[in-house]
Structure 1
């Protein structure tokens, strides 16, 4: 390989016999190499056929879709041809996919990698306004969505000046939209994988900001997929005989972590339940019915599962559980252990990174900690000047980027050099999370250093919620902060100064009206679960609202 780092990653994988005999037929320095090898042959090095498919999808109605790596390879080549020919996309063009957990989402992931098209995932909870902003900011030339979501999007698409094609996933047809199923039926399975360069963008994620609309995080071809080799094998404990179920929504980076890159770089099966709504009983029944060996879900979901009490279920195949996205309560860890006999291996990372801390397989688990730094990351706790603080002292969780930048760290915030520069402090990339490192190197999460709200794993920027509320005539001023919650960890709370005409309105009815308003204007998960009407908001001498004062008041009793 041209890159010694990538070479070591692949050799590590090869030593575990995770890939086929064609491992060293390398055509491009990226995660595509692993997929290309796996898809070219479903035969392992010793000649045995793997027991599991590459992909296994089920629905509430009992439908199932199974693809071997070879079938995934063939279908992804057809999908790449659809994108390049029918949608007229070229290398470097951006395609936004707003899809629920349908098989085509995984197919399009791989197809975009093959064709050098930049994939932009978006949760299906996004409203038309959210999508309009994302289309304009990303300059996406193609929008891909389901037949059920397409009608809601059409009102904003005419104003998207960069959009060139619209692709629909589903059985129905719609005027002005191309149909993926119909095009796949006639597409050629011959496609030559584009040899992208290491610095070229592969995927762009939108992540919430504190003072503006979501930022665009760019992950490149050489780094992102291969960055999950270590965490897939040693945090998620994956091998070719494993079946991995990660419940994350397709719009979040966690879906790439546990539903695409880590399992497939390890030759494991990706299991998916369409799960339109989270229900603990559905999770428990699925773990009982299917031979899932590795399970990943958010701490809030584990909390709901132990409240449901899964001790009466028999998870006969389950042997390894992981979580991330928010802090795991030690009490939930203990109850899950009692009810299932299994530990939960917590990990930590961001959209900008892969997993940078984790309770790896074989490590002593300290319930409540994020674990230790994951290679190749040098994780430290730093002060406001970028200096490493002593063990036991609180600071910002940071990753060393000097003298050598980790190859699996994001490349930039797209079209936002100021935010890119602001994420660096001295020799470190700073996460914005506060933490403490103990004498043994375990990292403990303390809280956010900024105003981002992490509710049940959903990162919510206060600016977006405040902007939505200010569109309602009842709202004169508003400040949005996090508020403690026993199930979700924290929730969105809005402090609202009412316009004079609405001061005498019934508070309960007005709260409900404002909550419904936010659900319509922006993604429903962002609505304020708590609302407090106030006479005024704390401000600086220059008139800036001090969210920190309100947040401290909310958390003072914890």
Structure 2
């Protein structure tokens, strides 16, 4: 990493500092419709003014510094205004998807101890709770007298995100104001971003992938962020990227696959686009290769998690190696540690748990109200990601899946990703996920396959293909053909649904 964070630091002030340098430059462009018409353009000065007005509105609500605010706001430009406005004032916003049910919102509200809930009617609100105020007209906040940026410390809480816990209940991940400084290695190591760029992110505002890669990082670099808030069928994406002049595009692998399947795409399309960015789940080598071949543009992958965001990647300075997400970003200290214990890093070719040095400024403060679980993720000076991986001799990392996704195959522990890679390079396979499915007597390694258009569902052929690449105990014993793989709202394959 470069210089350590200053003692006093406010994430929102850092993100919006370009308002002093280029106040009239477009910070955010909001597109709508299949032709990508620009419906809103926010300059840096206008967005900072709106965020500070929201900061004043939150301050007038009687909150104390550090109080949590549950955001139940839809996918409009108001979402990032409220998110950064809360941080600017020293409060702790909790971004959530409007797809959550009322029960799910209740669980987050109860766990977080939020003092205020802000909703706009686009998603279910949690039940009323003593000591918790509610605002159902967010425009009241942005009409308030503006406040200044709070004099927060770098280690003060900035925002709280909820992720799936191992117990099946949501688990809060608390990030500090300094977290934005932990993202600096991505700017060259993944994006290759500069002030002249227009980064179009395919995700919704409430997703931290969008808030980070789609908004905060472009703004720190004085670039322009582009989002689309309406329906976005895959076939319209080339048109949207062309209409908006996007130079960078960020999405999950599943969307890249659907664009290739349904859109008219070739090297002549999207002339301003330099390269694509992929995160959220593993990018299969075949998908990477097809995107590059069809578009003539690089596709750079990053591996990350809610607790630290992305920390290794390919990029303009790190050539892609299909099947690997890349190398540790410059300045980050990563290691592969033995699964069974110990803090001595393993050598190249040895699979273990991927770990990050605890000094990384992008690392979370901890799991909300779960000190024992936070401590369990630490091993000496290392934070354990839970990802299984290995380094090759050139320093590239090869992802071998989550430790808790490991399958028991005839007494051997097998990573689903290893089996998926072996199957995914068959020409008939568009997408594949592998899971251990409990049967009446034994659990069976099962492959769930999405075929390319026109391909026949032939389990015998695919099994023969797998036999040339996998040891017998690693091969699927059952094959299921699907139209689409089940996914979470953020686009990741939902393995729990496959297990049944």
Shift of 1:527: 9.8
2:27 corresponds to: 54
1:219 partner SS: strand
Shift of 1:382: 1.0
Does the aligned pair in 1 maintain the 2:10–2:88 contact within 8 Å?
A: no
TM-score calculated relative to the size of structure 2: 0.79
Query: For residues 277-300 of structure 1, what are the alpha-carbon distances to aligned partners after superposition, in whole Å with 9 as ceiling and x for unaligned?
Result: x52113222112211111110111
Distance in 1 separating the partners of 2:130 and 2:493: 28
Distance in 2 separating the partners of 1:41 and 1:28: 21
Shift of 1:377: 1.8
Query: For residues 298-355 of structure 1, what are the alpha-carbon distances to aligned partners after superposition, in whole Å with 9 as ceiling and x for unaligned?
Result: 1111111222254257202111211111111111111111111111111111111132
1:157 partner SS: coil
Does the aligned pair in 1 maintain the 2:281–2:492 contact within 8 Å?
A: no
Match of 1:67 among 38, 42, 67: 42
The verdict on how the C-alpha distance between 1:440 and 1:496 changes in structure 2, with shifts beyond 3 A counting, is: closer
2:325 corresponds to: 370
Match of 2:73 among 73, 89, 99: 99
2:391 corresponds to: 437
Distance in 2 separating the partners of 1:370 and 1:489: 18
Match of 1:392 among 336, 349, 367: 349
Shift of 1:406: 1.6
Residue 200 (1) aligns with residue 156 (2): yes
Distance in 1 separating the partners of 2:165 and 2:405: 9
Q: How does 1:462-477 map to 2 (within 5 A)?
A: none
The verdict on how the C-alpha distance between 1:117 and 1:324 changes in structure 2, with shifts beyond 3 A counting, is: same
1:239 partner SS: coil
1:140 corresponds to: 114
Distance in 1 separating the partners of 2:155 and 2:5: 14
The verdict on how the C-alpha distance between 1:114 and 1:30 changes in structure 2, with shifts beyond 3 A counting, is: closer
Distance in 1 separating the partners of 2:497 and 2:309: 31
1:319 corresponds to: 274
Residue 280 (1) aligns with residue 234 (2): yes
1:224 partner SS: helix
Distance in 1 separating the partners of 2:274 and 2:495: 37
Distance in 2 separating the partners of 1:314 and 1:524: 27
Match of 1:181 among 139, 161, 172: 139
The verdict on how the C-alpha distance between 1:496 and 1:103 changes in structure 2, with shifts beyond 3 A counting, is: farther
Shift of 1:162: 4.2
Distance in 2 separating the partners of 1:259 and 1:98: 20
Aligned residue pair count: 430
Distance in 1 separating the partners of 2:384 and 2:120: 37
1:236 corresponds to: 191
Distance in 1 separating the partners of 2:496 and 2:151: 46
Query: For residues 240-264 of structure 1, what are the alpha-carbon distances to aligned partners after superposition, in whole Å with 9 as ceiling and x for unaligned?
Result: 1111112223333212221222111
The verdict on how the C-alpha distance between 1:488 and 1:112 changes in structure 2, with shifts beyond 3 A counting, is: farther
Give ranges in structure 1 of 5+ residues lacking alignment: 8-26, 44-48, 167-176, 454-480, 498-517, 533-558
Q: How does 1:343-492 map to 2 (within 5 A)?
A: 343-383=298-338, 384-385=340-341, 386-401=343-358, 405-451=359-405, 489-490=432-433
Shift of 1:194: 0.8
Distance in 1 separating the partners of 2:432 and 2:79: 30
1:271 partner SS: strand
2:17 partner SS: helix
Does the aligned pair in 2 maintain the 1:229–1:265 contact within 8 Å?
A: no
The verdict on how the C-alpha distance between 1:448 and 1:437 changes in structure 2, with shifts beyond 3 A counting, is: same
The verdict on how the C-alpha distance between 1:531 and 1:450 changes in structure 2, with shifts beyond 3 A counting, is: closer
1:6 corresponds to: 5
Does the aligned pair in 2 maintain the 1:98–1:251 contact within 8 Å?
A: no
